[in-house]
Structure 1
């Protein structure tokens, strides 16, 4: 039986005009891919013309990519869709009334790391802009990572309040979470399976119609909106848990004087029916917009979307929250290795010069959101160290001085700390680095970038995460 919504969607016809609110790491590649779909007449990118992000409007309309770092395929795709006149970026949100579908890709950070309450200010503004110009038969899709229960609850209420329309009757509403990694945005959108969850069956079908043409290898996985929210927050929570398990094991290996990477190889060698091993890599900390907060979105969802009380041992933190604590601890452990290395050569942290290589949280990108390097630098400075930071991609960040020239960063340094696995650090001439540093230099490898034996032979005191077999040199 046809519903009022299905009738509104049929009257609207096929999706031909698409709007994407939020021109960031998700919105830009999504809008460009929508614009490349045959039959799409126009894809709008909606962006506030603010002092900090308004420059994106001009760059995008010139066919230029405002995202720094390596993003294969994105530069050419943007140039093509702008040249063909299909894609246009604007701060004029009234054009939403032309759109058959509108997606919202706006960050949902925490207000502060202490209260872990999501800051929905920017998302609410995006929702209100969409609702203000919403017309009958439009599809609205939230791509932002959100607490389970948000789409069917708060987001729906905001859209209905602004539009005067009813979700599920006058317009379709769905959640289709982004599943991308900076550095391979286009590939991820096209090749990863797409989770699509509508507030009803008509909304789900319309959202599938929107995303299906963009996929090359990926498949559509339909479900409810709340299940889609749980899927997104849970998959990031599980990855965070896997990283925490590797970090915890690395700490054990250091304490017992063994090589984590030997242990990892040994564990991974056991294969067969019913045997699953998914040991990731330890490191100096977990950063980014997703893994650092999605555990808490998932936890909060039990209250927001919960239908029955949670049955769980009272007074105990969840396994997921414990994993978060382990990963949050790793920058502090990296500092412990710095202090341990300096003690080998009779130096104190206070007054030492620490050269830090890498500020972004991901290799070969400028994405420094929630970077663990920020916490590490703050710890070093609290203990009286002088810090210098090099990054080839991140040129500025509030409250920090960054250099794209490595020489002044490493010159006269007591400690070199590898915080990000940028490609250039693998090829760095560490003999030259040693000559630039002060006598008896210390190298702390937070990302398993260098060969400890090579570094030790070059004359460094080596300290590495998970390298209990080498971190004792030269104390024994």
Structure 2
């Protein structure tokens, strides 16, 4: 059995595909959502993995009048979706209920689909290497159920080459079929942005790729019927895979630069944000701001690219250095907090610090891979008593993940310092003067993202710090 994707594509469902080397596929970017003929909409699409990537995608295809199967191994997730409950917080219960979409834990339903889209997590392991066990497991499940002529599309973030090296062999082994002859493969990296109402599936240009030009065009047309922003046809699967990790590696590099500037200017007693504002008056200056780098993309994707590059003999020093810089910022936030407490003449072992916002970004309740947890750990190393509050996160999950006391109802009584780590919109309503009066005498405010005006904070009575 051939473990690679064949350039020869003889589809077994009656639709003929010619032979096209990957290098012959030209990149193209579409415009508005394109109409799809009714016969094409008769296709059934199965989305495997109904998390923050897969569920919006399934709903998007259902809105475009496709028959959709949503498959997930998590019974509680599927039960809630079957009850019409949005499990992501980014859609709505109506969106989950509407359209021709069924949610199931039965892998046998995969056999009913002409297109299977795999959107499962791809974390890093303890050594910061790619962990593709979910991709391989999902591919084996899909391969064991899919029928000849199926097109399997991977959306999970992977290193360049992983679709051919991991996804395809697992599909082939489980199905007993050969990619490019009996079934077909594409890759389209997810670009989900949880918590951003202006950037849903329909609003973000979709990069797509296929094993040859005919498969590419077939996949592109499916996505074009859903994505208003258009579709970019990548010339190869490897280009599409690389584009995803580069998107976030670039952001990691730029944030690392301003984070390093923030630490350097703090030593010089120069306001880093004032510096960035002044520098930003030049037309070609890119506006990045210092902060914690958490979540599922920016702190993860650079490791995928570094892994593949190192494996091929080139050590990407800048990529790895950026990771080191950004991973050091939680300790720096803790040091800023300790410095502010000292300025307020507080005894550290008797101080109480309240961390506001525990999720990895504003407007979401997801605490997985939140770097606020590292801030909490660093503060407890100083024997500071730390409490947390997040109006969007699940309190029990926070207690288990962060290992700290959680306020279920916000209280400032006896608090010596506030660390505003994740500025949810709910915190914008605070009357800072009233908050300061409710705190212990001479309170400190560590505003990690700089979301509060320093003059307003100091006028309210806070000793103010920011990155």
TM-score for both structures, normalised by structure 1: 0.86
Q: For residues 186 and 137 of structure 1, do their structure 2 counterparts lie closer, same or farther at Cα, with a shift above 3 Å needed?
A: farther
1:279 aligns with 287
1:10 aligns with 15
1:46 to 48, 56, 71: 71
1:104 aligns with 118
Q: For residues 442 and 4 of structure 1, do their structure 2 counterparts lie closer, same or farther at Cα, with a shift above 3 Å needed?
A: closer
Q: Give the secondary structure class of the aligned counterpart of 1:158.
A: helix
Contact between 1:242 and 1:279, CA under 8 Å: does it hold in 2? no
How far the C-alpha of 1:186 sits from its partner, in A, is 7.7
How far the C-alpha of 1:155 sits from its partner, in A, is 1.2
CA distance in 2, matches of 1:382, 1:259: 27
Contact between 2:47 and 2:116, CA under 8 Å: does it hold in 1? yes
Contact between 1:5 and 1:171, CA under 8 Å: does it hold in 2? no
CA distance in 2, matches of 1:186, 1:415: 34
User: What is the CA deviation profile of residues 260-303 of structure 1, one whole-angstrom value per residue up to 9, with x for unaligned ones?
Assistant: 232222222122xxxx32131112x1100111111110011225
User: What is the CA deviation profile of residues 337-359 of structure 1, one whole-angstrom value per residue up to 9, with x for unaligned ones?
Assistant: 11111111222433311100000
Contact between 2:136 and 2:166, CA under 8 Å: does it hold in 1? no
| Residues 1:358 and 2:367 aligned together | no
2:184 aligns with 172
Contact between 1:425 and 1:449, CA under 8 Å: does it hold in 2? no
Q: How does 1:57-456 map to 2 (within 5 A)?
A: 57-68=78-89, 71=90, 74-81=92-99, 86-112=100-126, 115-184=127-196, 187-271=199-283, 276-283=284-291, 285-302=292-309, 306=312, 309-310=313-314, 318-395=317-394, 396-397=396-397, 398-400=400-402, 401-407=405-411, 410-456=412-458
How far the C-alpha of 1:185 sits from its partner, in A, is 6.7
Structure 2 unaligned segments of length 5 or more: list them. Answer: 1-6, 18-38
2:77 to 34, 50, 56: 56
1:33 aligns with 60
Q: For residues 303 and 340 of structure 1, do their structure 2 counterparts lie closer, same or farther at Cα, with a shift above 3 Å needed?
A: closer
TM-score for both structures, normalised by structure 2: 0.88
User: What is the CA deviation profile of residues 140-160 of structure 1, one whole-angstrom value per residue up to 9, with x for unaligned ones?
Assistant: 111000111100112111110
User: What is the CA deviation profile of residues 299-358 of structure 1, one whole-angstrom value per residue up to 9, with x for unaligned ones?
Assistant: 112256x4xx43x6xxxx611111111111111110011111111122243331110000
Q: Give the secondary structure class of the aligned counterpart of 2:73.
A: coil
CA distance in 1, matches of 2:309, 2:325: 23
Would you say how many aligned residue pairs link Structure 1 and Structure 2?
A: 434
CA distance in 2, matches of 1:184, 1:452: 27
Q: For residues 9 and 162 of structure 1, do their structure 2 counterparts lie closer, same or farther at Cα, with a shift above 3 Å needed?
A: farther
User: What is the CA deviation profile of residues 78-124 of structure 1, one whole-angstrom value per residue up to 9, with x for unaligned ones?
Assistant: 2322xxxx111100010101101011111111222xx1122222222
Contact between 1:5 and 1:137, CA under 8 Å: does it hold in 2? no
Contact between 1:29 and 1:185, CA under 8 Å: does it hold in 2? no
How far the C-alpha of 1:429 sits from its partner, in A, is 1.8
How far the C-alpha of 1:75 sits from its partner, in A, is 3.9
Structure 1 unaligned segments of length 5 or more: list them. Answer: 466-476
How far the C-alpha of 1:74 sits from its partner, in A, is 4.1
Tell me the C-alpha RMSD between the 2 structures.
2.1
How far the C-alpha of 1:223 sits from its partner, in A, is 2.3
1:473 aligns with none
Q: Give the secondary structure class of the aligned counterpart of 1:324.
A: helix
Contact between 1:253 and 1:259, CA under 8 Å: does it hold in 2? yes
Contact between 2:48 and 2:119, CA under 8 Å: does it hold in 1? yes
2:36 aligns with none
CA distance in 1, matches of 2:14, 2:232: 20
Q: Give the secondary structure class of the aligned counterpart of 1:187.
A: coil
CA distance in 2, matches of 1:9, 1:56: 37
Q: Give the secondary structure class of the aligned counterpart of 2:414.
A: coil
Q: For structure 1, which segment, 233-242 or 430-439, has the greater mean C-alpha deviation from structure 2 after superposition? A: 430-439
Contact between 2:418 and 2:445, CA under 8 Å: does it hold in 1? yes
CA distance in 2, matches of 1:247, 1:219: 34
Q: Give the secondary structure class of the aligned counterpart of 2:117.
A: strand
CA distance in 1, matches of 2:355, 2:86: 28
2:30 aligns with none
Q: Give the secondary structure class of the aligned counterpart of 1:450.
A: coil
CA distance in 1, matches of 2:209, 2:416: 53
Contact between 2:220 and 2:231, CA under 8 Å: does it hold in 1? no
CA distance in 2, matches of 1:127, 1:325: 33
Contact between 2:12 and 2:148, CA under 8 Å: does it hold in 1? no
CA distance in 1, matches of 2:310, 2:382: 40
